[in-house]
């Protein structure tokens, strides 16, 4: 349970999963060596996300893979997830930490150096930076969409916590993101 050991971080979203279910994708990712899974599924109800979270918790716990819940501290706590990932408009890192405790992993989205430094100061364990190559999975301010590996490098160099690049990353374009830190 240490984000500095993560190499591959899966973010789930059924609407982008083709004909496979989220548990099928998570199982395949776990079998393929993923280090962390973020339960995103923003388009579902809290109850559906909770029920899916219970299933994913079982899969990830058996494999020793960290399970992070996007945005929802209550669901993270209810399914005994390893942590939560909050965005700039969600509960703050400090509040999430207070609610989940010191052992939980708390990640935070950041698209600027100022946001990254604030998240680190508030106790974030890692940052999610992006969308690196642009995203169609949510409405994103143009300044935060397609930030590119250069901004990842700038943000990674400005903090001492791990940085995860997110958004539009494929096997073909991952190398520059990895090289950016």
- In our burial notation (b when 16+ CB lie closer than 10 A, e otherwise), range 160-172 reads ebbbbbbbbbeee
Helix (H, G, I), strand (E, B) or coil at 168: coil
Catalytic pick among 72, 97, 109, 151: 109
| Tokens of residue 10, six digits | 């899966």
Catalytic pick among 40, 49, 57, 72: 40
Phi, psi of 163 (to 5 degrees): -120, 130
- Residue 138 falls in the annotated catalytic set: yes
In degrees, to the nearest 5, what angle opens at C-alpha 16 toward C-alphas 139 and 30? 120
Catalytic pick among 7, 20, 42, 138: 138
Q: Which residues contact 73 (CB under 8 A, 6 or more apart)?
A: 84, 86, 91, 95, 96, 99, 100
- Residue 136 falls in the annotated catalytic set: no
| Tokens of residue 69, six digits | 């819940």
| Tokens of residue 120, six digits | 């680190």
- Residue 47 falls in the annotated catalytic set: no
Short-list 40, 162, 145, CA closest to 107: 162
Residues marked active site are found at: 40, 109, 138
């Amino acid at each position: 349970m240490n984000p500095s050991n993560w190499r591959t971080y899966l973010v789930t979203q059924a609407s982008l999963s083709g004909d496979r279910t989220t548990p099928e994708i998570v199982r395949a990712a776990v079998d393929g060596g993923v280090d962390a899974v973020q339960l995103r599924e923003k388009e579902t109800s809290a109850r559906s996300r909770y029920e899916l979270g219970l299933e994913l918790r079982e899969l990830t716990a058996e494999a020793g893979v960290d399970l992070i819940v996007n945005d929802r501290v209550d669901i993270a706590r209810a399914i005994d997830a390893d942590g939560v990932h909050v965005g700039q408009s969600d509960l703050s890192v400090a509040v999430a930490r207070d609610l989940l405790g010191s052992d939980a992993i708390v990640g935070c989205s950041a698209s600027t150096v100022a946001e990254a430094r604030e998240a680190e100061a508030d106790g974030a364990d890692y940052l999610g930076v992006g969308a690196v190559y642009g995203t169609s999975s949510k409405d994103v301010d143009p300044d935060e969409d397609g930030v590119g590996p250069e901004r990842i490098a700038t943000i990674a160099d400005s903090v001492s916590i791990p940085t995860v690049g997110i958004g539009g990353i494929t096997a073909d374009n991952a190398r520059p993101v990895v090289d950016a830190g």
